[in-house]
Amino acid sequence: MLTPETARHLSLLRTLGEPELSPYSRWQRLGWDASSRYLLSVQKQGGTPLRWWDLHSEGTVPLFAHSVSRCVAAWFLPGSQRLLSVTARGTLQTWSVTDGTLVSSVETGGAVANACLSSDGTRLLLASAQGRVLLWDLERGWLVWRLEDSAFLYGCALSPDGRFAAVGAAEEQDGAATRGSVRLWDAKTGKTVGSRILAPQRIWTVAFSPSGESLVAANSGGELLFLGLPGLETVRIIQAPASGAMQIEFSPDGSLLAASADNSAFVVIDVHEGRDVFDYSDLDDQQGSTANFSPDGRFVCWGMDDGKVGIWGVKPRLG
């Protein structure tokens, strides 16, 4: 498993996919299955929107690829051989991981800009940029709760223990200015637990620590704010990429944090020390990607400028 010490020695071990030239800016959202065997990519603009690979194969070609119109995000569903995708129109589709067929399709009835799957794979938090938030029960196929917010909403998250739902936001001010804030709800009922204003202009994304003790908010000023729960008091602040972290994710044991910037780069941060231990950039400001730790804690993946996906790990020492 990667540690703050071994993460300093990360190197690119493998790339997946074929080069895909695109005249558009590209963003990839990546994800692993629970066994760390399968890896998926959702591409916004350029290339095939939904792809996944079987890492037991030595090839680089995806196991399957589908042109899912306006796909926003996807996840491997725990305990099954199925994959869930969600579109900007709120369509939820499940796919067979092993044969690539479409298994089901459900309409949630609302626009989606960001989404988060619960750790047990039974609930889905959906947020639109215009302030609508939904919690969807995947097992029953119905809406648990829905609310409207006046702010612009960005990244959202569900806590590992299922207690809380959170979202990063930007509230409009006089003169077309905005101020960043965080919203926190009871995930079972949708009742407001707390809301806090956090300058500067936006909170791009949020993530709960694996222990469930804190919520990390990434602001547009290049800071990561650790907030206590449920009061949202500031516990500590560490530096993120200067241009702001568009996505953040903890390693399974919580000792590392991967932060993806909007300038084609990602960093791995030692959570205890609050400093970078690894960084990488392909120097292409027309693309970006999430950086995601494998569930076994051995690897981190990131989407590259030509549409490929890279996997970083620590090479074993000889002798």
Q: Which domains does the chain possess?
A: 6-76+160-182+189-313 (2.130.10.10)
Q: Which of 12-26, 41-55, 209-223 is the least confident region?
A: 12-26
Is the pLDDT at 158 greater than 90? The verdict is: yes
User: Is 315's pLDDT higher than 70?
Assistant: yes
Contact 141, 134 (CB under 8 A): no
Span of 167-171, 176-180, 275-279 with lowest mean pLDDT: 176-180
> 244-295: per-residue pLDDT in tens?
788 999 999 999 999 998 778 899 999 999 999 999 988 766 678 999 999 9
pLDDT at 305: 81
pTM of this prediction exceeds 0.85: yes
The total of other beta-carbon atoms located within 10 Å of residue 118's CB is 19
Dihedral sign, CA of 110, 112, 114, 119?
positive
Residues paired with residue 197 on neighbouring β-strands, in sequence order: 181
Give the pLDDT of residue 286.
Answer: 65
| End-to-end Cα separation, the chain, in angstroms | 20
pLDDT in tens, 59-102: 999 999 999 999 999 999 999 999 999 999 999 999 999 999 99
Residue tagged 């070609």 (tokens): 61
Q: How much is the average pLDDT of 185-190?
A: 97
pLDDT score, position 261:
85
Q: What is the predicted pLDDT for the residue at 59?
A: 92
DSSP element (H, E) containing 38:
strand 38-44
Q: Is the pLDDT of residue 242 over 80?
A: no
CA 273, 278, 282, 288 torsion-angle sign:
negative
Nearest to 263 by CA among 11, 27, 23: 27
pLDDT category, 141, cuts 50, 70, 90?
A: very high
pLDDT at 9 over 70: yes
pLDDT on residue 318: 60
CA distance 159 to 221: 24
CB distance 50 to 37 below 8 Å: no
* Tokens matching residue 52: 């996944």
- Overall average pLDDT of the 294-316 stretch: 94
